[in-house]
Structure 1
Amino acid sequence: MSTLTITANYRRHGDDWAVIVRAGGEELDATAPGLIAARLAADQLVDEIAAGSSRRAVVHLLDGDALAFSVAYLHTRAGLAPPVTG
């Protein structure tokens, strides 16, 4: 039984966050007013794109970078400003 690999790539979209979820040639997208809301939207898109798949792995990326997403998301969840990158 193989595992379905899914990516959820986030990026700033003006004042909002956009997320694109991709798996097996299929792509779904959403926009949300904050990173936490975008993460919740991504969960819904993952459920939709992986319907029928009991084994799945999701990698969350910020502009293609998994570590950058983790840092930004954890800072946001803790109520801290994300570190400035540049």
Structure 2
Amino acid sequence: MPTLPITANYRRAGDDWEVTVRTAGRSLDATAPGLIAARVQADQLVDEIAGSHADRAVVHLLDGDALAFSVVYLHARHGLTVPDTRQTEPSTPHDQAIEA
């Protein structure tokens, strides 16, 4: 049986976090009071969405960005201030030129 690809995408919703877990043709949502709780919810949704499919690969994303999720999640797990990952400056030289 091939590996089942699953994504768990997290978004800030005020003081809460929303998570959407997706695989081909199916999507489940949950809201939690913090990122750690949202990660626990994601695990539960993954179990529900994958069913008996034992071989699964889950990628956790923050607004579609896996690296951003890792940074924010590790900060939260270690009790550090969670960095604001929302972009406030132009990200590419092209965007910077437009801003100038």
* TM bucket, shorter chain: over 0.9
Cα RMSD over matched residues? 0.8
**Percentage of matched positions with identical amino acids:** 73
> Match for residue 35 of structure 1?
35
> Match for residue 78 of structure 1?
78
> Separation in 2 of the partners of 1:31 and 1:57?
22
Q: What are structure 1's unaligned runs of at least 5 residues?
A: none
Q: Tell me which amino acid in the other structure corresponds to 1:47.
A: D
Is structure 2 residue 27 aligned with structure 1 residue 22?
no
> Match for residue 62 of structure 2?
62
Give 1:24 shift: 1.3
Larger Rg over CA atoms: 2
Alignment deviations for residues 20-58 of structure 1 (CA, whole Å, 9 cap, x no partner): 000111000000000000000000000000001010000
Q: What are structure 2's unaligned runs of at least 5 residues?
A: 88-100
> Separation in 1 of the partners of 2:75 and 2:14?
20
> Separation in 2 of the partners of 1:38 and 1:28?
13
Give 1 or 2: higher strand fraction.
Answer: 1
The alignment covers a number of residue pairs equal to: 86
TM-score by length of 1: 0.96
> Separation in 2 of the partners of 1:82 and 1:15?
12
Q: Tell me which amino acid in the other structure corresponds to 1:79.
A: G
